[in-house]
Amino acid sequence: MRWKLSNTHFGAVGLTSSLPGGTIYWLFVKAFGCTLLLSFFFFILAAIGGGLISISSSGVNQSTQLVTGFIGGAIMIVSFVTYFLLFVIIGRYFFHRGLWCEIASSITLTNVEALDAAKAQGYAADRFGAGLADALDVAGAF
Protein backbone atom coordinates (compact mmCIF):
# COMPACT_ATOMS: atom_id res chain seq x y z
CA MET A 1 0.00 0.00 0.00
CA ARG A 2 2.84 2.36 0.85
CA TRP A 3 4.53 1.63 -2.49
CA LYS A 4 1.28 2.19 -4.42
CA LEU A 5 0.60 5.49 -2.66
CA SER A 6 4.16 6.74 -3.09
CA ASN A 7 3.95 6.13 -6.85
CA THR A 8 0.69 8.02 -7.34
CA HIS A 9 0.98 11.31 -9.23
CA PHE A 10 -1.52 13.88 -10.44
CA GLY A 11 0.50 15.68 -13.06
CA ALA A 12 3.42 17.25 -11.23
CA VAL A 13 1.85 16.72 -7.79
CA GLY A 14 2.82 13.48 -6.12
CA LEU A 15 1.98 11.55 -2.99
CA THR A 16 4.39 10.04 -0.50
CA SER A 17 3.34 7.70 2.25
CA SER A 18 4.95 6.91 5.57
CA LEU A 19 2.53 4.07 6.36
CA PRO A 20 4.20 1.72 8.86
CA GLY A 21 4.63 -1.88 7.76
CA GLY A 22 2.69 -3.46 10.61
CA THR A 23 -0.40 -1.26 10.36
CA ILE A 24 -2.60 -3.82 8.66
CA TYR A 25 -1.44 -6.58 11.01
CA TRP A 26 -2.21 -4.41 14.03
CA LEU A 27 -5.73 -3.79 12.65
CA PHE A 28 -6.19 -7.55 12.33
CA VAL A 29 -5.09 -8.06 15.94
CA LYS A 30 -7.49 -5.39 17.22
CA ALA A 31 -10.38 -6.77 15.17
CA PHE A 32 -9.64 -10.33 16.33
CA GLY A 33 -9.56 -9.22 19.97
CA CYS A 34 -12.89 -7.42 19.68
CA THR A 35 -14.41 -10.41 17.88
CA LEU A 36 -13.15 -12.73 20.60
CA LEU A 37 -14.71 -10.59 23.34
CA LEU A 38 -17.92 -10.30 21.35
CA SER A 39 -18.04 -14.07 20.82
CA PHE A 40 -17.55 -14.74 24.53
CA PHE A 41 -20.33 -12.33 25.52
CA PHE A 42 -22.81 -13.72 23.02
CA PHE A 43 -21.89 -17.31 23.87
CA ILE A 44 -22.95 -16.55 27.44
CA LEU A 45 -26.22 -15.01 26.20
CA ALA A 46 -26.92 -18.04 23.99
CA ALA A 47 -26.18 -20.35 26.94
CA ILE A 48 -28.68 -18.42 29.08
CA GLY A 49 -31.28 -18.69 26.33
CA GLY A 50 -30.61 -22.41 25.91
CA GLY A 51 -30.82 -22.88 29.66
CA LEU A 52 -34.21 -21.20 29.73
CA ILE A 53 -35.42 -23.43 26.92
CA SER A 54 -34.23 -26.55 28.74
CA ILE A 55 -35.86 -25.35 31.96
CA SER A 56 -39.12 -24.85 30.09
CA SER A 57 -39.13 -28.45 28.93
CA SER A 58 -38.97 -29.71 32.52
CA GLY A 59 -41.47 -27.28 34.02
CA VAL A 60 -44.64 -28.35 35.76
CA ASN A 61 -46.98 -25.55 34.78
CA GLN A 62 -47.96 -25.33 31.08
CA SER A 63 -48.08 -21.50 30.98
CA THR A 64 -44.70 -21.24 32.74
CA GLN A 65 -43.20 -23.64 30.18
CA LEU A 66 -44.51 -21.57 27.31
CA VAL A 67 -43.31 -18.23 28.67
CA THR A 68 -39.88 -19.54 29.69
CA GLY A 69 -39.38 -21.26 26.33
CA PHE A 70 -40.45 -18.13 24.45
CA ILE A 71 -38.09 -15.91 26.44
CA GLY A 72 -35.20 -18.35 25.96
CA GLY A 73 -35.83 -18.60 22.23
CA ALA A 74 -36.12 -14.83 21.90
CA ILE A 75 -32.83 -14.34 23.76
CA MET A 76 -31.09 -16.82 21.45
CA ILE A 77 -32.49 -15.32 18.24
CA VAL A 78 -31.79 -11.73 19.26
CA SER A 79 -28.28 -12.62 20.43
CA PHE A 80 -27.37 -14.39 17.18
CA VAL A 81 -28.73 -11.62 14.97
CA THR A 82 -27.01 -8.97 17.07
CA TYR A 83 -23.77 -10.97 17.03
CA PHE A 84 -23.64 -11.08 13.25
CA LEU A 85 -24.55 -7.41 12.91
CA LEU A 86 -21.82 -6.40 15.36
CA PHE A 87 -19.38 -8.70 13.59
CA VAL A 88 -19.97 -6.73 10.38
CA ILE A 89 -19.64 -3.44 12.26
CA ILE A 90 -16.28 -4.53 13.72
CA GLY A 91 -15.03 -5.34 10.23
CA ARG A 92 -16.17 -2.02 8.84
CA TYR A 93 -14.75 -0.09 11.79
CA PHE A 94 -11.28 -1.63 11.76
CA PHE A 95 -10.72 -2.49 8.10
CA HIS A 96 -12.63 0.16 6.21
CA ARG A 97 -12.54 3.14 8.52
CA GLY A 98 -9.40 2.23 10.43
CA LEU A 99 -7.28 1.41 7.41
CA TRP A 100 -8.28 4.54 5.51
CA CYS A 101 -7.66 6.72 8.58
CA GLU A 102 -4.15 5.28 8.83
CA ILE A 103 -3.58 5.77 5.12
CA ALA A 104 -4.87 9.35 5.12
CA SER A 105 -2.73 10.29 8.09
CA SER A 106 0.42 8.88 6.44
CA ILE A 107 0.11 10.77 3.12
CA THR A 108 1.98 13.96 2.28
CA LEU A 109 1.76 15.87 -0.97
CA THR A 110 4.90 16.78 -2.89
CA ASN A 111 5.22 19.70 -5.30
CA VAL A 112 2.01 21.31 -4.05
CA GLU A 113 2.92 24.57 -5.82
CA ALA A 114 1.96 22.94 -9.13
CA LEU A 115 -1.69 23.05 -8.03
CA ASP A 116 -1.67 26.84 -8.47
CA ALA A 117 -1.30 26.39 -12.22
CA ALA A 118 -3.94 23.65 -12.51
CA LYS A 119 -6.99 24.32 -14.63
CA ALA A 120 -9.93 22.30 -15.80
CA GLN A 121 -9.71 20.90 -19.31
CA GLY A 122 -12.01 18.93 -21.52
CA TYR A 123 -15.58 19.49 -22.60
CA ALA A 124 -18.71 20.09 -20.61
CA ALA A 125 -20.57 16.81 -20.20
CA ASP A 126 -24.29 16.38 -20.46
CA ARG A 127 -25.81 15.65 -17.09
CA PHE A 128 -27.79 12.66 -18.40
CA GLY A 129 -25.72 9.59 -19.26
CA ALA A 130 -22.48 11.27 -20.26
CA GLY A 131 -20.20 8.47 -21.40
CA LEU A 132 -22.70 5.76 -20.52
CA ALA A 133 -22.88 4.43 -24.07
CA ASP A 134 -19.08 4.30 -24.22
CA ALA A 135 -18.90 2.48 -20.90
CA LEU A 136 -21.41 -0.09 -22.08
CA ASP A 137 -19.79 -0.31 -25.52
CA VAL A 138 -23.05 0.41 -27.32
CA ALA A 139 -22.03 3.66 -29.00
CA GLY A 140 -22.36 2.13 -32.47
CA ALA A 141 -25.96 1.12 -31.83
CA PHE A 142 -27.17 4.71 -31.67
Q: Which pLDDT band, with edges at 50, 70 and 90, does 129 fall under? A: low
Query: Using one digit for the tens of pLDDT, what is the confidence trace for 5-62?
Result: 888 888 888 888 888 888 888 888 999 999 999 999 988 988 888 888 887 777 667 7
Query: Using one digit for the tens of pLDDT, what is the confidence trace for 96-124?
Result: 888 888 888 988 988 888 888 877 676 66
What's the start-to-end Cα distance of the chain, in Å?
Answer: 42
Amino acid at 118: A
Q: Residue 139: is its pLDDT beyond 60? A: no
Per-residue pLDDT, 40: 92
Q: Which long-range contacts (CB under 8 A, 24 or more apart) does 37-46 make?
A: 38/83, 38/86, 38/87, 38/90, 39/83, 42/79, 42/80, 42/82, 42/83, 45/75, 45/76, 45/79, 46/75, 46/76, 46/79, 46/80
Whole-model pTM: value is 0.59
Per-residue pLDDT, 45: 87
Q: Residue 140: is its pLDDT beyond 60? A: no
How far is residue 78 from each of residues 42, 65, 70, 72, 90, measured CA to CA in Å? 10, 20, 12, 10, 18
Average pLDDT, the chain: 81
